[in-house]
Amino acid sequence: MEIGDWRLKSEDSQSPISNLPISKGFCMAQGNFLTAKEAAAMLEISLPTLYAYVSRGLIRSEPGTGKSRARRYRRADVEALLARKALRQNPAQAAENALHFGAPVLTSAVTLIEDGRFFYRGYEVTKLAQTTSFEAVASLLWRDSLATDDLFPPQLPPGLQQRMIAMQPILQPLPLFERFQVALPLLAGHDLAAYDLAATAVAQAGVRLLHLLSWAVTGERPHANIAATLQQAWAPQIPTLQNLFNTALILCADHELNASAFAARVVASAQANPYAVVQAGLAALQGARHGGHTERVVTLLREAGSEAGVRPAVAARLRRGEQIPGFGHLLYPNGDLRARLLLDLVAREFEGETAVSTVQALIQVMAEATGQLPTIDLGLAALAVAAELPEGVPLALFALGRTAGWLGQAIEQYQEDQLIRPRARYVGKRPV
């Protein structure tokens, strides 16, 4: 089985608006499009009203692909109207649902996830990951430009360099991810320029942060190319891994308003500097339901050990009622394109290796058992296991890549100049 074949086996139909009220007895159709009758039923409106919505641009439609050529209607637009309707009917419930894969709660021009694909400022990410440097993508996220000449390589102030050299005995014994968390607060006071929150200044601080963090996890002074720095430190015997690291960093760079991005934006809204923004993102990312999920995937792959060990390892977890890590993503019912690309590249680079056949067997077993498809977490874990990278590399790669996204989100929030301060719906004891 080719790793790319997993995308054909999905039966995951979870929806971000599954908690919104819909007509009783109505079963939502699969896929990204609805028929006119399905769309009208979801919205509890007549067909003429549906057509009126289309004419007003509220719902997009296009010719169908079947024999009837009947027009089909975008599910995302219908769901957006449902969310707006729910907000009008029950603002408290709609606001609560919005914080769990629900209606948008912030505006952003950074990342679009739509129809199973995703884009950074209009550029398809899977294409960027194969054609562009991570540094150019960071510039795109921060400044809406792929040009890097005036940003990279970094100009680290002498004080920052001296501080990093002095910290190495403290950092090197620590796990990779903890090095980030220890280094940032110790470095922040030595980068006074980071307190300038203008967009250009934040982008320049972002360059310094990326290279300081890569220095922290490699112990080596950074090169102009971050992926090259990582490859020479973690896998000097495999030069081709530079391209794989570059791809992984780009695929991880941003993912709309996930938990860590939201945490970063909240901190930015309080006018905290970029070092604090990244610290907030790291705190959320390390959680077991976010980037920390990668460690569980690595554990599963190592426990299985080989193709023959996959089925017993999965069966044991399923019997215990455990979720199999590295599979199923609410935003990608037809499969996570980030995972597909990274897994295909790993399979090509390490063809014939035990790690590749183990991952392929895991994908096949999961397709049979649950119909769930791989996520980016499996791609990062597969890369680490196949290349025999140091412990903690998947999460460190995730964090380095996502640092670019957190700062892109922060720049937007600084420009909003508005504190994110939602209200709580009190459900405790009333005062006497």
Q: What are the extents of the domains in the chain?
A: 1-16+145-419, 17-100
pLDDT above 90 as % of the chain: 64
Is the per-residue pLDDT at 295 higher than 90?
A: yes
Is the per-residue pLDDT at 93 higher than 50?
A: yes
Per DSSP, 20 falls in state: S
CA 48, CA 67: separation in Å to the nearest integer? 23
* Confidence band, pLDDT 50/70/90 cuts, at residue 70: confident
* Confidence band, pLDDT 50/70/90 cuts, at residue 222: confident
Residue 392: which residues within 8 A CB-CB, separation 6 or more? 175, 176, 177, 295
pLDDT at site 6: 37
Mean pLDDT over 226-230 rounds to: 96
Q: Which CATH class is domain 17-100?
A: mainly alpha
CATH number of 1-16+145-419: 1.10.230.10
pLDDT at site 31: 65
Mean pLDDT over 316-325 rounds to: 91
Residue 169: which residues within 8 A CB-CB, separation 6 or more? none
CA 311, CA 326: separation in Å to the nearest integer? 15
pLDDT at site 15: 32
* Confidence band, pLDDT 50/70/90 cuts, at residue 328: confident
Least confident among 47-56, 98-107, 402-411 = 98-107
Top-confidence residue, 289 or 420: 420
pLDDT at site 419: 94
Least confident among 1-5, 65-69, 87-91, 198-202 = 1-5
Q: What are 4's two structure tokens?
A: 């790319």
CA 154, CA 133: separation in Å to the nearest integer? 15
Mean pLDDT over 362-369 rounds to: 93
pLDDT at site 198: 96
CA 205, CA 142: separation in Å to the nearest integer? 11
CA 247, CA 227: separation in Å to the nearest integer? 9
Is the per-residue pLDDT at 359 higher than 50?
A: yes
Is the per-residue pLDDT at 35 higher than 50?
A: yes
- For the chain, the C-alpha Rg in angstroms (whole number) is 23
Q: Write out pLDDT tens, residues 120-136.
A: 999 999 999 999 999 99
Exposure b/e, 54-88, CB count within 10 A at least 16 = b: beeeebebeeeeeeeeeebbbbbbbbbbbbebbbe
* Confidence band, pLDDT 50/70/90 cuts, at residue 87: low
Instruction: Tell me whether strands 72-74 and 33-34 are parallel, antiparallel or unpaired.
Output: antiparallel
Q: Write out pLDDT tens, residues 244-264.
A: 999 999 999 999 999 999 999
* Confidence band, pLDDT 50/70/90 cuts, at residue 99: low
pTM, to two decimals: 0.79
Q: Write out pLDDT tens, residues 161-207.
A: 999 999 999 999 999 999 999 999 999 999 999 999 999 999 999 99
Contact 223, 229 (CB under 8 A): yes
Nearest 5°: phi and psi at 187?
-95, -25
pLDDT at site 8: 31
Residue 297: which residues within 8 A CB-CB, separation 6 or more? 325, 326, 377, 378, 380, 381, 394
Is the per-residue pLDDT at 273 higher than 70?
A: yes
Distances, alpha carbon 134 to alpha carbons 47, 113, 214, 371, in Å: 48, 20, 13, 33
Q: What are 373's two structure tokens?
A: 């498809």
Is the per-residue pLDDT at 357 higher than 90?
A: yes
How far from the centroid of its chain's Cα atoms is residue 22's Cα? 29
* Confidence band, pLDDT 50/70/90 cuts, at residue 24: very low
pLDDT at site 101: 59
Least confident among 84-98, 127-141, 196-210, 318-332 = 84-98
How does the average pLDDT of the chain come out, rounded? 87
Q: Name the residue among 317, 297, 271 with its Cα closest to residue 383.
A: 297
pLDDT at site 22: 29
Please give the single-letter amino acid code of residue 194.
A
pLDDT at site 96: 59
* Confidence band, pLDDT 50/70/90 cuts, at residue 61: confident
pLDDT at site 107: 85
Mean pLDDT over 334-342 rounds to: 92
* Confidence band, pLDDT 50/70/90 cuts, at residue 329: confident
Is the per-residue pLDDT at 215 higher than 50?
A: yes
